[in-house]
Amino acid sequence: MQTNVNDSAKVSHFLAFYLIHSIQVGVGILGFQRNIARTAGYDAWMAIILAGVLFHIVIWIMYKMLNMSSGGDLVSIHREIFGKWLGGLLSICFMIYFVLLAISILKSFILVMQVWMFPDLRSWEIALIYLILIYYAVSKGFRVVTGVCFLGVVIPAYLYVTFIPPFGFGDARHLLPIYTHSFQDILGAAKQMTYSYLGIETFLLYYPFLKNPQKSQKWAHIGNFITILAYLLITFATFVYYSEGKLAHTIWATLTMWKIVSLPVIERFEIIGITTWIVVILPNLCLLIWSASRIGKRISSIRQKTFLIGILLLAYVPICMIVELETTYKLTDKINQVGFYIVYAYIPMLCIVYLLMKKVKKKRE
């Protein structure tokens, strides 16, 4: 099942850096510290490195599989291995997964805005604005989605400077002694970090939209590496600033740290941070919804814009219906579990089966 993409719709291979990095930095970065510290204490920074290295391996596996594919994307690989109907069903499962991941990201950020900025603001109002922006970007094509990802990396880059002040107010002895937890605990924390790294699976859909995609592998790995550095910077700043007991009772540690940033004309810098994060999660949502609608187009004769409208309408309902923080946490936890098995089990297994199938086919020929 060949994927024909016009050159005018493709983007330069080095933009894989922005596509990978932007999808990995989202709402999870606002409060991931408490989750990993619960499992591995202040040795959890090792889990960030471990999870990042594993995602490097997953990126390599995806390139290995896609470089051998005649169709060039996940839908064609599913069809080659499992046939039209079963392959299409598996592709639909990925479509649902992408939509649910987008819902969990948007709903989590809406709760942040309601708690920290606008308590009386209703979910349907924020969701409607976001869904209109997503429709505009995705309906204009993948090049516009890539531009959104580029802006989502460049515009909020200044915020990393704000994580330097906590080192001056903190105590580095919180990090000592090192390796007081078992390797099993660190693995558990790495599993918790999966949600923060999720989204690179969309690469399985936009690979044909890269010019000279084989040359983009270096940039994809650089994007993942920068993500690791970003999470490490924020983690060390958090662990130095908070005691372990205090962090256990802090839901959004990143936002709380921004309270110590003092500027002459800004009293509450966390408001600036949250406002900037509006731009950060937009690439997450655009890339996930684009991938879901792309699958719909590839497995049927329906136009991608038609699928896009349907997906946005279906996503709008649960976003408005979920009102409790606990329900959002449960959804996020389930998505984290599903994403964990997709990234670490299904994609490697799919690659192995595909490579074996190619070898058998080559011997027969």
Q: What is the pTM of this model?
A: 0.93
Q: Cα–Cα distance between 126 and 97 in angstroms, integer?
A: 22
Helix (H, G, I), strand (E, B) or coil at 339: helix
φ/ψ region of 179 (left if φ > 0, alpha if ψ in -120 to 50, else beta) reads left
The per-residue pLDDT for 3 is 67
**Residues 73, 298 contacting (CB under 8 angstroms):** yes
Q: Cα–Cα distance between 173 and 25 in angstroms, integer?
A: 28
The per-residue pLDDT for 169 is 85
Fold of 12-364: Amino acid/polyamine transporter I (1.20.1740)
3-class SS string, 211-249: CCHHHHHHHHHHHHHHHHHHHHHHHHHHHHHCCHHHHCC
Tens place of pLDDT per residue across the chain (365 aa): 456 788 888 999 999 999 999 999 988 888 899 989 999 989 999 999 999 999 999 999 999 999 988 778 899 999 999 988 999 999 999 999 999 999 999 999 999 998 888 888 888 899 999 999 999 999 999 999 999 999 999 999 999 988 988 888 888 888 888 888 899 999 999 999 999 899 999 999 999 999 989 899 999 999 999 999 999 999 999 999 998 888 888 888 898 888 887 777 777 788 888 889 989 999 999 999 999 999 999 998 889 999 999 999 999 999 888 877 788 888 889 999 999 999 999 999 999 999 999 888 888 87
159: Cβ contacts below 8 Å, ≥ 6 apart: 273, 276
Question: Is 265 exposed, middle or buried (CB count within 10 Å of its CB: 0-12, 13-18, 19+)?
Answer: exposed
Tokens of 270: 């966390």
Please give the radius of gyration of the chain, using alpha carbons only, rounded to the nearest integer: 21
pLDDT per position as a tens digit, 135-148: 999 999 999 999 99
**Residues 240, 50 contacting (CB under 8 angstroms):** no
Q: In one letter, which amino acid is 352?
A: I
Q: Cα–Cα distance between 18 and 16 in angstroms, integer?
A: 5
Tokens of 335: 């998505």
Q: In one letter, which amino acid is 64?
A: K
Closest CA to 65 of 249, 214, 235: 214
249: Cβ contacts below 8 Å, ≥ 6 apart: none
- Residue 266 has phi, psi (to 5 degrees) of -130, 120
Tokens of 209: 């939209």
For residue 210, list its beta bridge partners. 11
Distances (CA, A) of 195 to 14, 55, 232, 330: 25, 12, 16, 13
Tokens of 363: 């011997």
Distances (CA, A) of 3 to 74, 88, 106: 10, 15, 30
Q: Cα–Cα distance between 284 and 102 in angstroms, integer?
A: 7
Closest CA to 319 of 138, 109, 97, 134: 109
Q: Cα–Cα distance between 3 and 215 in angstroms, integer?
A: 19
Residues listed for the chain? 365
Q: Cα–Cα distance between 61 and 157 in angstroms, integer?
A: 29
